[in-house]
Amino acid sequence: MITLDITEQLNKFNQLHKDMPYLVSRAMNNTAFKDSRKSISLDMNKKLIIRSKNISKKTMFTVTKSHKTNLLVKIKHKIKEIGFQQFGGTEKAKDNFLVIPNRKNIKTYFGIAKNKNLPEEIWASTILKNAPVSRNQKKTYKVNKHKLFIIKKLGVFLRFGNDLKSVFNFVKQAKHTKRQFNLQDSMTESFDRRFTKRFTIEYLKLLKG
């Protein structure tokens, strides 16, 4: 006669049952921190016109952790104005003005397509830091052989022949009409792709003891 004793296995499965909320919570947090922030950051770069070099970094997203007694994780962007590019609306300048790119001229004079993000040398923050506040100053800032300069209260310009062409316009407010990016949809998609894998990893760790 052969006697099988599965007491140890049953005890382990009972323990797994007790620890299930902890496993789920840990998997949710790991998905948020290690996967979702990175995935959403990449999604933003594909779908938004990035005007600030920091806005799409994964560190710009805060995560409210899940706990085993509260299986809810929240991911939030630190800049509330990102909502305008998600849901539309009128964005008003916090300080003196908003810096809005002239996509047509940027494409014409720098060869950058409308749906592409701007390279660092023509980020608004880079230009405002390095370009002269008048085309007559000795200081110069060039991109693709074009000299860029700032005209107060109007924008950033370059000279082309006898004409001035705007690269960025300074405005008091900007209206967003298209839902180019949805943070909730992006986060949900990331969780759908990655959560099961993260949960399986945590489950196997505990199963192995």
Helix (H, G, I), strand (E, B) or coil at 26: helix
Q: What is the pLDDT of residues 97-151, one digit of tens each?
A: 888 888 889 888 888 876 677 788 888 888 888 989 877 777 889 888 888 999 9
Taking the alpha carbons of 102, 80, 181, 46 in that order, is the dihedral positive or negative?
positive
The C-alpha atoms of residue 72 and residue 89 are separated, in whole angstroms, by: 29
Is the pLDDT confidence value at 79 over 90? no
In this structure, are residues 198 and 30 in contact, taking their beta carbons and an 8 Å threshold? yes
Taking the alpha carbons of 46, 48, 52, 57 in that order, is the dihedral positive or negative?
negative
Global model pTM greater than 0.75: no
Question: Between vectors from CA 57 to CA 120 and to CA 97, what angle results, nearest 5°?
Answer: 60
Is the pLDDT confidence value at 80 over 80? no
Spell out the alpha helix ranges (H) of 7-149: 7-30, 37-47, 82-87, 103-110, 124-130
Q: What is the pLDDT of residues 21-68, one digit of tens each?
A: 777 888 888 888 888 778 878 777 777 666 565 677 777 878 888 887
What's the confidence (pLDDT) of residue 209? 60
